[in-house]
């Protein structure tokens, strides 16, 4: 023991910095001294522990957002960031206000919120009306609330039902189709509003798109563009060359619509011809004998009467579905009761969902070309939370996880700063949520404004893609934060792509499971998207300020 070397020699030896002479000295001693061999091992462990702890700190420091903008520039960054933001906001408000007041074509004055007082009143009336008379349509009151995006939300909600019936891919196809098959809303809008009645007379032709709102609206003439109607009673006997968005207590269509008809109301009756698709939600929805829809029909309501002819598929969810007419391809229904009358002709398959093994009433003489099968849609709809029992759900989740993971990894390689926003304190969280809420609401409004102005359409299209991308990325960003904190609290440490990948995967799993939990899943989903969008916005702002901040070094 008294021969043992000073510990400092060992310390240097473990660090691999000993001189050749010292190495010889140490090693020849170690051969005969078990205690010193223990010391050497302990010193090696100690060095690893110290480096670990230091690097752990490093990892935390990495996540500190101020790293990206050094202190001196932080106050500057705030000044630089806040100033222009306020300036741009003020400029936008001024320019938009000025445009609304003076520059927009006369017809677009309906965009001016000040002119909507009557419309607001009507929307509220309608919402309360729907709530009282057609509680099944409560979803659509949400659509009504978002007056500007009425068309897109309605289409989305209705097509979401059809997605359930037809499968996942149909949604994208439907959305894309309804976006691109619709004659563009590019034409300038003409707007007519009144508290009383309004009409487009038989001999009148409106050469642009028309927004019309009144107590009773009658369209007997021709509208060359799209028609957006909001009224207590809507009677369309004329011709519309574009799409029709009709929301009212009573909607009667006996004219001709070249585009698609999107409609919601208490009673909707269609006696005329729709050359494209019909999306409808109503307490009572009737396609009259003479009514003809050239393409697909997607309906939701209390009772649906299909007496006319449908060119292609019929998708319908309602308490009672009565079919008398012709369906060119397949029919899918989910309802409390289904009645097929004697003169029914369905060229393709019939898939029906009825509660508790109830059978459809199929009268003699009804013709069904393909197979008749009982689906489980109603069960799916009545238990929407139980996704976990569905095999497809796991497949979808796996596809989502894999793709989100890959996108996350690519992003980490290309733009790691997206993942650097902090969520360590509650104020970070609230800040992200605030930004997210603003982003979620403002971006669509900005996009709609882009679409309404002719020149803005390309920007709008790019914006839509960007928006959808941000929504998807938001989940990934939140997952990375969740994963990192789980990894940190589990004591898992590491750097580089491998460690990032591991924590991203863990985070994605947790977030995806949380978003699909029964009951709370919906709220969590909203939270995740909101926080994630906020974090992306903050990262973008930071990156922008950072670019400005870098200037001082140069």
Partner 1 sequence: MDEQAIKLIVDRALAGDGAAFAALFREYKRDVYCVCRRMLGHAESAEDAVSESFLRARRALDGFDPEQPFRPWLISIAGHHCIDQLRRKSLESRIFSESPMEESQLKSIAPSALVRILAMEERQSLGRAIEVLPARYRLPLLLRYFEDMDYEAIAKSIGVTKKQVGTLLFRAKALLRAEVESMANQHSNGLRVGRRKK
Residues in touch with partner 1 (CB under 8 A): 7-8, 11-12, 15, 17, 38-39, 42-43, 45-47, 49-58, 61-62, 64, 66-67, 70-74, 491, 550-554
Can you tell me which residue has the tokens 């001016």? 112
Identity of the residue, 121 or 424, whose beta carbon is nearer to partner 1 in the bound complex? 424
Nearest CB to partner 1, comparing residues 75 and 389: 75
The minimum distance between CB 42 and partner 1, in angstroms, equals 4
Residues 6 or more apart whose Cβ sits within 8 Å of residue 513: none
Nearer to partner 1, 88 or 413 (CB): 413
Q: How far is the CB of 34 from partner 1 (least distance, A)?
A: 13
Q: Shortest distance, CB of residue 429 to partner 1, whole angstroms? A: 19
- Residue 368's SS3 state is strand
State which residue, 74 or 380, has the beta carbon closest to partner 1. Answer: 74
Residue in this structure with the two tokens 């989903």, named with its chain if needed: 525
With beta carbons less than 8 A apart as the criterion, state whether 222 and 204 touch: yes
Task: Give the whole-angstrom CA distance, residue 479 versus residue 482.
Answer: 5
Nearer to partner 1, 35 or 498 (CB): 35
Query: Least distance from C-beta 66 to partner 1, angstroms?
Result: 5
DSSP letters, 111-142, are GSGGGGHHHHHHHHHHHHHHHHH-GGGHHHHH
Q: Closest approach of Cβ 545 to partner 1, in Å? A: 14
CB-wise, 289 or 417, nearer to partner 1?
Answer: 417
- Comparison of 18 and 162: residue with beta carbon closer to partner 1: 18
Starting at the earlier edge strand, list the strands of the sheet with 273-274.
205-206, 222-223, 239-240, 256-257, 273-274, 292-293, 309-310, 326-327, 345-346, 367-368
Q: How far apart are CA 176 and CA 147, in angstroms?
A: 21
Contact at 8 Å (CB) between 239 and 256? yes
Closer by beta carbon to partner 1, 70 or else 183: 70
**C-beta of 73: minimal distance to partner 1 in Å?**
8
Decide whether 36 or 314 has the Cβ nearer to partner 1: 36
Minimum CB–partner distance for residue 355 and partner 1 (Å): 57
Look up residue 67 and give its DSSP letter. G
Closest CA to 118 of 147, 150, 143, 149: 147
Please state, in angstroms and rounded to a whole number, the distance separating the CA atoms of residues 126 and 552.
58
| Nearest-10 Cα torsion for 520, 522, 524, 526 | -150
Tell me, what DSSP letter sits at residue 184?
P
112 Rama class: left (phi>0) / alpha (psi -120 to 50) / beta = beta
Helices 34-62 and 7-14, axial angle in degrees (round to 10)? 50
| Residue 15 zone, left/alpha/beta (φ > 0; ψ -120 to 50; rest) | alpha
Q: Which of 341, 402, 338, 386 is nearest to 366 (CA)?
A: 341
Q: H-helix or E-strand containing 231?
A: strand 227-236
Closer to partner 1 at the Cβ: 526 or 548? 548
What region does 16 belong to: left with phi over 0, alpha with psi -120 to 50, or beta?
left
* Cβ(80)–Cβ(544) below 8 Å: no
CB of 22 to partner 1, least distance (A): 10
Nearer to partner 1, 139 or 417 (CB): 417
For the chain, the straight-line distance linking the first and the last C-alpha, in angstroms and rounded, comes to 61
Between 22 and 208, whose beta carbon lies closer to partner 1? 22
Nearest distance in Å: CB 532, partner 1:
24
The least CB distance from residue 67 to partner 1, in Å, is 5
Cβ pair 178, 277 in contact under 8 A: yes
Q: How far is the CB of 97 from partner 1 (least distance, A)?
A: 40
Min. distance of Cβ 51 from partner 1 in angstroms? 4
* Residue 11 or 194 with smaller CB distance to partner 1: 11
Cα 188 to Cα 184, 363, 416, 437, distances in angstroms:
11, 50, 43, 31
- Tokens 């009667």: give the residue: 252
Q: In which residue are the tokens 């059809």 written?
A: 162
Q: Cβ of residue 502: shortest distance to partner 1, in angstroms?
A: 19
């Amino acid at each position: 023991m008294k021969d043992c070397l000073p510990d400092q020699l060992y310390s240097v030896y473990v660090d691999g910095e000993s001189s050749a002479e010292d190495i010889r000295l140490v090693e020849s001693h170690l051969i005969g001294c078990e205690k010193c061999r223990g010391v050497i091992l302990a010193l090696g462990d100690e060095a690893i522990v110290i480096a670990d702890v230091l690097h752990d700190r490093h990892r935390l420091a990495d996540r500190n957002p101020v790293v990206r903008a050094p202190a001196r520039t932080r106050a500057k960054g705030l000044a630089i960031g806040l100033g222009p933001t306020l300036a741009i906001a003020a400029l936008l408000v001024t320019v938009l206000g000025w445009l609304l007041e003076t520059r927009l074509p006369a017809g677009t004055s309906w965009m001016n919120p000040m002119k909507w007082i009557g419309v607001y009143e009507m929307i509220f009336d309608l919402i309360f009306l729907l709530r009282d008379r057609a509680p099944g349509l409560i979803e659509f009151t949400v659509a009504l609330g978002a007056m500007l995006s009425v068309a897109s939300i309605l289409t989305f909600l209705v097509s979401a039902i059809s997605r359930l019936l037809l499968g996942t891919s149909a949604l994208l196809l439907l959305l894309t189709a309804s976006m691109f098959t619709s004659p563009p809303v590019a034409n300038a809008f003409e707007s007519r509003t009144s508290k009383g009645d309004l009409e487009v007379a038989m001999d009148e032709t409106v050469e642009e798109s028309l927004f019309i709102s009144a107590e009773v609206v009658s369209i007997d003439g021709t509208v060359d563009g799209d028609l957006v109607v909001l009224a207590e009673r809507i009677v369309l006997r004329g011709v519309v060359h574009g799409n029709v968005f009709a929301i009212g207590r009573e909607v009667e269509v006996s004219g001709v619509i070249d585009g698609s008809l999107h409609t919601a109301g208490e009673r909707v009756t269609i006696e005329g011809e729709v050359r494209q698709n019909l999306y409808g939600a109503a307490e009572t929805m009737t396609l009259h004998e003479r009514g003809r829809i050239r393409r697909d029909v997607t309906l939701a309501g209390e009772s649906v009467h299909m007496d006319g002819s449908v060119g292609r598929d019929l998708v319908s969810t309602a308490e009672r579905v009565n079919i008398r007419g012709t369906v060119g391809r397949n029919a899918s229904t989910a309802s409390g009761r289904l009645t097929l009358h004697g003169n029914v002709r369905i060229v393709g398959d019939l898939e029906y969902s009825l509660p508790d093994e109830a059978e459809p009433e199929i009268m003699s003489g009804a013709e069904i070309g393909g197979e008749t099968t009982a689906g489980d849609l109603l069960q799916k709809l009545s238990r929407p939370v139980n996704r976990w029992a569905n095999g497809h759900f796991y497949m979808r989740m796996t596809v989502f996880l894999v793709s989100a993971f890959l996108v996350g990894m690519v992003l980490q390689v290309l733009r790691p700063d997206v993942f650097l926003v902090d969520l360590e304190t509650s104020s970070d969280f609230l800040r992200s949520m605030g930004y997210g809420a603003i982003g979620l609401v403002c971006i669509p409004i900005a996009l709609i404004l882009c679409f309404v102005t002719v020149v803005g359409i390309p920007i709008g299209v790019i914006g839509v893609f960007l928006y959808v991308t941000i929504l998807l990325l938001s989940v990934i960003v939140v997952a990375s934060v969740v994963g990192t904190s789980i990894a940190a609290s589990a004591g898992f440490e590491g750097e580089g792509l491998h460690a990032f990948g591991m924590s991203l995967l863990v985070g994605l799993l947790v977030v995806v499971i949380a978003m699909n939990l029964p009951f709370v899943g919906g709220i969590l989903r909203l939270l995740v998207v909101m926080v994630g969008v906020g974090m992306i916005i903050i990262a973008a702002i930071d990156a922008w300020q950072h670019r400005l901040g870098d200037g001082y070094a140069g």
